[in-house]
Amino acid sequence: MTTFNLRQVKLRTAEQFRCEVEVQLEELVLGGQEYLPVPSVAAAELAITKATSGSVFELGFRVVLHGPCFRCLADTVLELPIRAREYQAASPGADEELRSPYVSDDVLDLSAWARDTIALELPDKILCRPDCAGLCPFCGKDLNLEPHAHEEEDTDPRWAALEALRASSED
């Protein structure tokens, strides 16, 4: 877990502090599947700007995630540029909107912030390619490697009465 001690930065209003940090990235579990960042440590740029009423934190880095395709389960590599911004009021009081969940006792939790930001930047479905055909619902073969079709199987006998009703309405 990577943290940054905010006490080491003394800023006046409108001043900014920038530095390069190494952020330990955690694996993501999405839909029961693991997505691993490679490498597990990312070079990131951290910027802290002192505002009149608090501090603005900015974090930027690139991440490469390795994991399964949503449709065909093939190994997939996803590269994402990450840019995140957080605000922490100097005196947030009881207002949760003015408090960053990543700042506690003047320590900024960079690993948790990076993990949450990566999760928010992920596409709806992680695919090996945009036109991934997925797996065959009948035999489970990868339709990208072996495109095929199955003959329609006989209807379940429990549906025979409905099938007869449909056939009679078409006549």
Lowest mean pLDDT among 70-74, 92-96, 163-167: 92-96
100 and 139: one domain?
no
70 and 110: one domain?
yes
Task: Examine residue 153 and state whether it is found in any structural domain, yes or no.
Answer: yes
The string of pLDDT tens digits covering residues 108-157 is 999 999 999 999 999 999 999 999 999 999 899 999 999 998 887 666 78
Which of helix, strand or coil describes residue 97? helix
Q: What is the pTM of this model?
A: 0.79
Q: Do 4 and 110 contact (CB within 8 A), yes or no?
A: yes
38 and 107: one domain?
yes
113 and 137: one domain?
no
First to last CA, the chain: 70
The whole-number average pLDDT for the span 8-12 is: 90
29 and 107: one domain?
yes
109 and 161: one domain?
no
The whole-number pLDDT of residue 154 equals: 67
Task: Examine residue 161 and state whether it is found in any structural domain, yes or no.
Answer: yes
88 and 24: one domain?
yes
Q: Domains in the chain: how many in total? A: 2
Q: Domain range holding 167? A: 133-171
The whole-number pLDDT of residue 5 equals: 93
Structure tokens given for 109? 């939790």
29 and 72: one domain?
yes
Task: Examine residue 128 and state whether it is found in any structural domain, yes or no.
Answer: no
19 and 78: one domain?
yes
The whole-number pLDDT of residue 150 equals: 85
The whole-number pLDDT of residue 141 equals: 94
Cis preceding linkage at 92, omega within 30: no
The string of pLDDT tens digits covering residues 14-70 is 999 999 999 999 999 988 899 999 999 999 999 999 999 999 999 999 999 999 999
75 and 45: one domain?
yes
Pick from 121, 104, 146: nearest CA to 64:
121
69 and 116: one domain?
yes
Q: Which residues pair with 77 in a beta bridge?
A: 66
117 and 137: one domain?
no
